[in-house]
A and B are shown apart, each in its own frame.
Chain A
């Protein structure tokens, strides 16, 4: 597993923005994987400030992690925190759906 973090994690301030722990499974430089990585990076940057941590797993290097996390298709994004855990598959091109899964409105507010 190769953790890739956008920012340093910050403490979860009570009642503030929750801390997001995200795990993105990609397949090398395949088109959908490249796209997913870019979309996620941009969305996090736009909506989550510093409160997130992204772990990017390249299955070409570590397919075992995919099996452990019961990931069948790549790319796939697992939102590990905040609970409940959610999995989004595909290239993340439907950004609305991604934001919803992260519990963020389109305006960047929490649900």
Chain B
């Protein structure tokens, strides 16, 4: 059957050819296939080479990833593994293949339910978990492999070492946390009130260190550790008697004290020995806050649940470093603020005293003129009435009341600095020693008087009588503050104020002063009382016990003498008054002998009275005439000049008011004495106005009589001047 044989043979040949071609194709030995239907050549890649290349490339990639990768079948058996898996699981690939993943990873005989591969079977999407194995962190994730019907066919199990990332994240987290704390603390500094600031900052630091208790305070100007936070934090829990929130340097003890003294962080996780009533302390750290090497604060923390770790300490130290510049500037600001407030307070006090002084002075002046009339005519009345006349007693009562009123107005004048001082060069120590006996009697037996007088005290310019009154008033005040006895200390010292001091104290000029301090150990005063202590008619004594003018008088005298007075007091801690009088270079004049008792009546000498107020003028005329003088009167300086210079009046004495409209008494006398240098003069005044006579002070030795005066006063004064000459003293 050649017909059958031929096709068969041909078929065989064609098959063989096809086989050959296929074989060549498989081996990749063919470049192109020639299509017979189209005029095209189809280029062929080497199938085999490409496949091998792909396989190799894939394996290289697979091995090159830094994660351990397994391909798992649906029963979690490992089908393929990469090189990194060998490294991470420390076994050659041959050991894994065919095993269940859990046997290799966990060494268990059963699957772990929470394993991502178990979960991925359900969710059919990536599942992952982070694990800490030994000291390294791993992320284990599983991605599902789905078959054509989107059914679970296995998983790609990837284990990545994420230790580096974790460390970076942790470092970042820590630095972010620090930054957050810094921010929060900065905010507290800028937003919280002075009261809340310390406790809120402490609260923040306690939070981050998980400390149950703590103290945060600053160092003040006097090296005290001041802890406003303490009162809020543990005040109620602390059972220590006499607890305080201000710790002076000499009381810096324990870990917190040593940390401040040594300027370094101290911490311990050993339980502390604490005084009775003190909160028990299981562990503690103390971190001083230093700014440019200077101790400005201290952060103390205690009682963390777990022991303190170096990291806690480092954190608090960085916080301390962070807050140091802010705290420093805040403290500086607060200090300046306090100084400013103090200065302002002083200024207000000074202004208040000035205003009250003007008021009191004005009233007293008018009062004095009226009192002069009351006393003058009152006395006149008494003299003219027959001793047996029943009206005489009534007239006497008027004179007595007038005298008491006069004493009161004198005090007011003293306070308002409008009284006429007759200052001398004065040795304060001598004044005090002279008063010693009288003071002892004044203060009584229950109070010890102690004098601490500087040996070489400088001289001051002051009215000795007034200074005596100052000391007496202060002593009386001290006595009244010590009803149960105590100690009265009077000190003197030379002091010098520099520019800085005077800048911080209103109305204190730099220079050399003599200090006179009067200190008692009495009941002291609160701030409110202290601020009003010099106010006239302000008194803490029972009604009727004091006029409320004692300290006002002191204030006025000191101020008028160019000095300053400061009061320091705290309730229960006594009071100190410090008086500063400017030192003088002038030399003390030798005291003249006591003036003999003068005759009180005149011998017809001619007196010219210059007084602008009519009733007073008339009174003077009456009084002096009664005393046996020839009297002329002038309404003012102009009329007086007219009488003397034009009409040729030749008075032996001019008795003139100091303050008058147009021409003052002083101006009048200056004018008259140009022609009559030996003209005798006696000034009188309700007060002496600053603008006219040397800040309210007549030159030492100028004859002067203070209104109101009694008949006897004026009689003596006039006699003294007439006998002693123009320059005679009072």
Contact = CB atoms under 8 A, between A and B. Distances in A.
Given A31-B46, A59-B41, A60-B41, A89 B33 contact: no
Contacts of B34: 59, 63, 66-67, 71-74
B39 interface: yes
A90 B41 contact: no
A49 to B, nearest CB: 28
B44 to A, nearest CB: 8
Interface string A56-89: 0001100100110001111100000000000111
A93 interface: yes
Contact of B21 (A26, A66, A72): A72
B21 A73 contact: yes
A88 B24 CA distance: 10
Contacts of A66: 34
A75 B33 contact: no
A33 interface: yes
Nearest to B37: A67
B313 interface: no
B244 interface: no
Contacts of A59: 32, 34, 41
A27 B30 CA distance: 10
Contact of A63 (B23, B27, B29, B41): B41
B30 A74 contact: yes
Contacts of A91: 24, 29
B30 A90 contact: yes
Interface in B510-530: none
Contact of B31 (A30, A87, A93): A30
B676 interface: no
Contact of A31 (B23, B31, B41): B31
Nearest to A71: B34
B103 to A, nearest CB: 47
B17 interface: yes
Contacts of B40: 63
Contacts of A67: 34, 36
B25 interface: yes
Interface residues of A, number: 22
A30 B29 contact: no
A26 to B, nearest CB: 8
A93 B27 CA distance: 11
Nearest to B34: A66
Nearest to A30: B31
Contacts of A30: 31-32, 43
A90 B33 contact: no
Given A31-B46, A60-B41, A73-B21, A90 B27 contact: yes
A32 interface: yes
Select the residue from A26, A73, A75, A90 with max chain B CB neighbours within 10 A: A73
Contacts of B23: 90
Interface in B116-153: none
A74 to B, nearest CB: 5
B20 interface: yes
A72 B36 contact: yes
B591 to A, nearest CB: 139
A22 B29 CA distance: 19
A88 B43 CA distance: 19
A93 B48 CA distance: 15
Interface of B: 17, 20-21, 23-25, 27-34, 36, 39-41, 43, 46
Closest 9 CB pairs of A and B: A30-B31, A90-B29, A90-B24, A91-B29, A27-B31, A73-B30, A32-B31, A27-B32, A66-B34
17 contacts: A26-B31, A27-B43, A31-B46, A32-B46, A59-B32, A59-B34, A63-B39, A66-B34, A67-B34, A73-B21, A73-B24, A74-B34, A75-B29, A88-B20, A90-B24, A90-B27, A91-B29
Interface of A: 26-27, 30-33, 59-60, 63, 66-67, 71-75, 87-91, 93
